[in-house]
Structure 1
């Protein structure tokens, strides 16, 4: 039975949690002859030992050979059976600020350390844990947190040199949070697995000197790829490593093809070679496709890594595809500016293939955070016998050096160290006070600096998370970024980084412009990336229009443009990410829970505010031209934001001005019939489209449904008919039955009917629509239940009394201003009531 000792020391202000593991060597059933000298496999928070992937994980509690005084608590999964492995059914929970595992080290040298995390369902939510994991003097994981939707374990792997008798792993909860771990592995690897030095390669090419002292650094595994093959599990690897397929990282899949698995013997040249990668990695490869040489001269793999951090890159090769001896020669490229000729026979002295070999490099990617690795032919006039291949890739971040010789004190010396720690803490507090005082003094006396926007600095999303926002976020006098062509430009490599090279798994939608991907910028900002495609219904004019318009406007009910990219024939737009998708997604044909009536009203009000701003407050006035439920998006708080401005028209707008177009643009079912007949586009065209959306929200059905009877197929026609007949309650979404205040429903129906008038002069302005929708919301919220056909002025008296209106300033058409945005071109009658209503909302906000 493996022995495990847990010791603890209590000191004022902190608790030290020690777990000392001392037990005989575990003989691993590995696929190779190598047996690890030091190996720890710990099933954290458990009394039981569990077998997993050819190793036995020993429980860290509950054995006669285990003693402890103070320790972290254990957690048990609420599920009866784990979908992954029993080692993920338990966890050790740490709530103290300086919790530790302490392991006895039998053999010194380079070790692999693996930390297993899986936030299973339990009494507490493990996905809420935020913590650091560190060794003496170096943080391995900072502010680490596992996403709640993780369906598989997260394994963090490090390679580090241990040159003391003890190895201490610190778990530090952040703030009021906690730390946890499901399983822990520590195993010794042979000398030479980590190279002493390697050539330096940057974006501009190879440096003259090598990077030395790599074994003294801590390496964090970022990628381990079986190029051209399937996933390799720990059972088939000497050091119990996992290798992922390369499908998600290859740039042009058609440029190469996978080889069939090689079943013969591998001729290792050196004893260490058989441990550097799994045999499965060397038995498969990605080979450049001869038929694609003319189109794809290189085969490239792209990887996202930490920006400006050094990484050890190891490329694995094994000659399993040669037609005859000395026929395979090719180039390995890094960033296209560094070339390594690959000659398996001349350089490596291989006499009898297939023989595995590898190349190591230390790469610094710069601010792009991208690593590009390619293989290609030696020359353009390639013969049929010239081939290029790659078997495997490893990328490990060099995160720094640490004090591996630190040995914790014990027994009689513990009190001395406690006193030392208290002294250090006291000294740190004094130093902190001096530092804070100096910082305050400097802050008071320094001159303010003007903030400059970087070449691709993303603009902040200005949503406030409520249904009302001030319009001072963008005036009518220009763009928030004067030279938006520079301020909003994002380099293509950054787009690849954010979308993982347009990973199909991140595809969240498809429209007339092209595909839409979910992405994450380097600062953690979630974005939606719209990428045009050849043959799409929209093109450069729409691309240019959206950039031009969105660079001029900023409003909490309009989706914010973060940036754009126009490189290498790409047209890409980057927007703030809307967590809840489109309004249509929540109305019909989806698995989303239904929206309550009050929330639907708030969403309509938010969208109306955005449109009203476009018509009256935006620079010169803007007609959206494609209002529909799929272009009204919802953020994580269900705040509505109008999106997709590719068809918009901008310019001075008032009641008498129109845009005469050469072709009707928009979406069938939402098109203004007068615009369709006359080709004269006005802002009332948006009002008509918004009226269709209002009916969609009420009825939860599409604008056009050819499967329905003829009189019901067009939602606008059917809705107006039911409203005029007084049967509006018959078309309400069935899930809203009994939920809508009848007076709110009546007012809402009136608004929709006005919006859908044939003649644009008979339709209200968006300001009127907004006022009426707010009024419908107030009717819904009133506690007084009235009959269906009570007089609306009586009904509204409890909300907006005459005495209240008299207390507000008199507002004329010329005097009304929305927080610095002049409201032009509205009827004076509308402006008086609308202005009063807005003033009330501002007063409420205060």
Structure 2
């Protein structure tokens, strides 16, 4: 009966159309201060908001600016959404205070903007400071923007706080330099300060999870925003908020496990019914008009939890605000579920219709939980599980929006120590300098979130898939960077650039996306296209080494008029790379289309292509660890394309010549001329398109059916993995017939158990046997004949990281043994929300058989088809290591 009852709901989910458009009341703030610190001129940011120069009237600063300096950033990172407010700073030599006269009845947002650059020659790492407010709360303590942004891979940092009303009618923000051991000169700085009044959205106390008789006073607290998600939906920029200028992000990177449920958007004529005026400001209509639910299978839904995991700082109390709105059902007990926060029951038998009386009524619930300062406890888990006790019509759960706020402690403190860079990053940096990593075989903890450490008792920590902080050597001589739409300090960056004008092949909306070089500039940069500067030749044309802006090394790709690639590829490359920024994607600096030319200008990749370091390049062979690290980096870049961008992007030409390596040996995916946007609706499984790509790497299913999916990239990447292992081309006609195709030959060797015999002799003795098995198994799954048989890029990344950990363990002299992770299920002890026990073998983590025991039945399923609670028999060398830090979910704040 339960399965039959689910079918109408499934049909509704599948036929759901475009999101509805609903009018909501816009809040008009009485106080609104946006200070462009250290600037002498006003200006607009990427969202069109006006920032006022803080030098216009020195009354902003209590000492009229006498103890501060106005400075400009020495360099401009391409990850910045706008020059305003980031390219100028107010630098403080001693404690200095901004003072704002405000409405004494209003709560206020305070947002602090920081860009970790050097200013007028002052190095970025000389800035250490604390920030306090008139409420007596310390917002930041001994804070280093440079350390923070580097550890979290962020180009810039935005800290958002909410301060309670001050009856005295003023609000102050004080910046105090903090002396650091070994450095007598320290300064404080800020690029932008926002003070904006807001409605009192925190008037009601929150119930303490696990203590039904205790509540937490939120109204009198200072809060820091940690996360804000439009669950099941896309990014919502500040202009589309309810007047509160908040960023709402896609929740997908934080959904735990492979069972992520389904998403649903209300139809175009759906009307929301707000119960109160205040409720209209709680979240934008778009949040309430979309949901994430568990899916259509009642049996499966009873055996897993829909779970979100968010790293946070230990030793603080947090508020989890869950937003709900029933969009489909009309009667109580059609859908009821239990809510767990940090594995404790926050609410049993939650029924949205029961709480609101009818569909279309938005609401939210606040739950408070204390996160201990213990290793493995520094994460927030929010989990939903269908209520079994009520026997609802549909065994399902829904969520529309999720916010996580940190509350100040009893000592008036919100600050936490700066995060340390992940061991993976530290190892990469040491490796780039030829130094050994001191703790390569020990446990490694990846930093995520604001200042948080690793996320979980599961040892599966969310991946850093945001744009990696880079000290770029590029500087836009015009200083103009505008038009960025939605950027964040803690999720993938989307932005665009305006510099000069374009005419010719690029549409007007594309021409404004990045810097426009004149043909004269390109000729100077390449010494009139000197053949001595040619560093490669591809399908598009020759690639030259060049220098722009005096000392910035670039790679310049000039279209060959006789090339098969032309206008479309040129447009695609500009469009794609102007919107994408990630540590493992090559950055596009600009373009030129003067005089009938089509020229692209990129960051210079000093070490060239991956292929050059494998064969046919005359270069010393890379070590196995180095090769594996490059594969992991490339996998991160591809995983970001598939899941981290606004839409799925399919590269379509993954090969070793399109994986480049920069001066620090960081792998970057390049050449987006053939890239395509993937399916844009839930019902669309592929994109029908002409077959393009490189023979030897082409997905056979795509070749036969002309149906492109993200699994086509997975196939190509599988060929790359075997290429890295065997150091031979994807196609080699000079070899015996059965060896011509690398994919076919490698699969044959894998089946026959002879693959170790054909591994590149240069690395054969370096590879741990367990690492080789995991790596080869992963590559073999990637080149499966059918796309459905292949893992996702997230799964590939997971396995490669695990292979690296196996290598670490081997080199460290420890035995890895069997790993079983603990995943959040919800529910205390043996209570509700913990119905599944699964044992995983790490040597076969993708699609391996797993024994699943429920409270009612026993069955066998596949590990990737269910979200699980896993019993731990952990080897400490593995369980909480960085092998699980860069895995399936992009993260970072």
Q: TM-score, normalised by structure 2?
A: 0.43
Q: TM-score, normalised by structure 1?
A: 0.45
Which one has more relative contact order, counting CA pairs under 8 Å at least 6 apart? 2
